Amino acid sequence: DQQVKQNSPSLSVQEGRISILNCDYTNSMFDYFLWYKKYPAEGPTFLISISSIKDKNEDGRFTVFLNKSAKHLSLHIVPSQPGDSAVYFCAASGMGGADGLTFGKGTHLIIQP
């Protein structure tokens, strides 16, 4: 049973437009959420995180939104750039991030020129 779901295996967006990646979770014990970006043959790289006490966190072009009642989070990238093409993983943790991470299956984002 997948506790973290990313229902879009791939997403294609034009350069300069907004990219929106979605993630749903089922475990109410999750209280810390992270987004990672992964290039082929490399490890996941941390992008941005959000605690369950917040509903939004921004870092430059990246914004994460959390809707606890819907158990849904999303990552917005504005504007999208060619270097953003990668696989994006949503991850969740309990205990304020001290626990191991539960990952979604990832969304392959393709930025088209």
Partner 1 sequence: DAGVIQSPRHEVTEMGQEVTLRCKPISGHDYLFWYRQTMMRGLELLIYFNNNVPIDDSGMPEDRFSAKMPNASFSTLKIQPSEPRDSAVYFCASRGFQVQYFGPGTRLTVT
Residues that bind partner 1 (CB under 8 A): 32, 34, 36, 41-46, 49, 89, 96-106
Residue burial 54-85, b: 16+ Cβ < 10 Å; e: rest: eeeeeeeebbbbbeeeebebbbbbeebeeebb
Q: List the one residue out of 52, 70, 73, 53 whose CA is nearest residue 62.
A: 73
Q: How buried is residue 7: exposed, middle or buried, by Cβ count under 10 Å (0-12/13-18/19+)?
A: exposed
Smaller CB separation from partner 1, 80 or 91: 91
Q: How far is the CB of 59 from partner 1 (least distance, A)?
A: 12
**Which C-beta is closer to partner 1: that of 34 or that of 80?**
34
| Distance in Å, CB of 74 to partner 1, minimum | 19
Least separation in angstroms between residue 68's CB and partner 1 is 18
Nearer to partner 1, 11 or 79 (CB): 11
Query: CA 26 to CA 61: how far, in whole Å?
Result: 28
Nearer residue to partner 1 within complex by CB, 19 or 93: 93
- Report the nearest approach of partner 1 to the CB of residue 61 (Å): 19
The answer to whether 49 and 33 are in contact (CB under 8 A) is yes
